[in-house]
Amino acid sequence: MCRHQFATWVHGPRLMALAVLCLSILSACSANTTTTAGAPTQAPPAETVLAQSAAPGNLATAQPSMPAATTATTTDLTGNWSGTWKRDVLGGGGTLTLALQQQGANLSGTVNLQGSVCLTSPGTLSGSFSGSHLAFSVTGNNVEVDFTGTLAENALTGTLSSRCSAGSGTGTWQASKH
């Protein structure tokens, strides 16, 4: 191969393929990495990266393989929460206590609204929690109270809507875990 042909070969798409192949090998060599969430991840074996990079048709477009970041949901709302609730209209409100159990995305437990004309004794709740958002309802004895809220910095805040024989209404609520 003469010098001119070698220069054309090196500066063409083969150079890019060679560079990508080298980056892929370097990427594969760092077998254990840690994500920002602290969970260890495993890089693909070098043979896999090389096979993907050197596949026919991939010479000019091959990209280095990077391990995917993984995050684990570690938030568990299980426990006792206490706070306050307030009516939107006519004033009033009171204290709120929650005893939550969480299994996966499902919530169950009890809620007590002191000062409520609708929910005069602790009620059984059921609902769900996903990401930072929760929703649960208390039904029974001609009472229905729906709660929605979010979790931020170990505190729950949200809105509520109630319906019972005394009427219906809306309000806000907040609770902290203790």
Range of the domain at 31: 3-53
Place of tokens 């920002």: 36
pLDDT per residue as tens digits for the range 113-147? 999 888 888 899 999 999 999 999 998 778 999 99
User: Percent of the chain scored above 70 by pLDDT?
Assistant: 58
pLDDT per residue as tens digits for the range 73-116? 568 999 999 999 999 988 889 999 999 999 999 999 999 999 98
Q: Which amino acid, 174?
A: Q
Q: Tokens for 100?
A: 């939550």
**Report field, pTM of the whole predicted structure over 0.75:** no
Residue 123 belongs to a domain:
yes
pLDDT of residue 68 exceeding 60, the answer is no
Residues 48, 86 within the same domain: no
Residue 110 belongs to a domain:
yes
Reported as type and span, the H/E element at residue 146 is: strand 143-152
Compute the residue count for the chain.
Answer: 178
Distances (CA, A) of 43 to 52, 64, 70: 14, 12, 12
Mean pLDDT of the chain: 74
Place of tokens 């993984």: 70
Q: How far apart are CA 144 and CA 119, in angstroms?
A: 8
Q: Which CATH number is 83's domain given?
A: 2.40.128.30
Residues 151, 105 within the same domain: yes
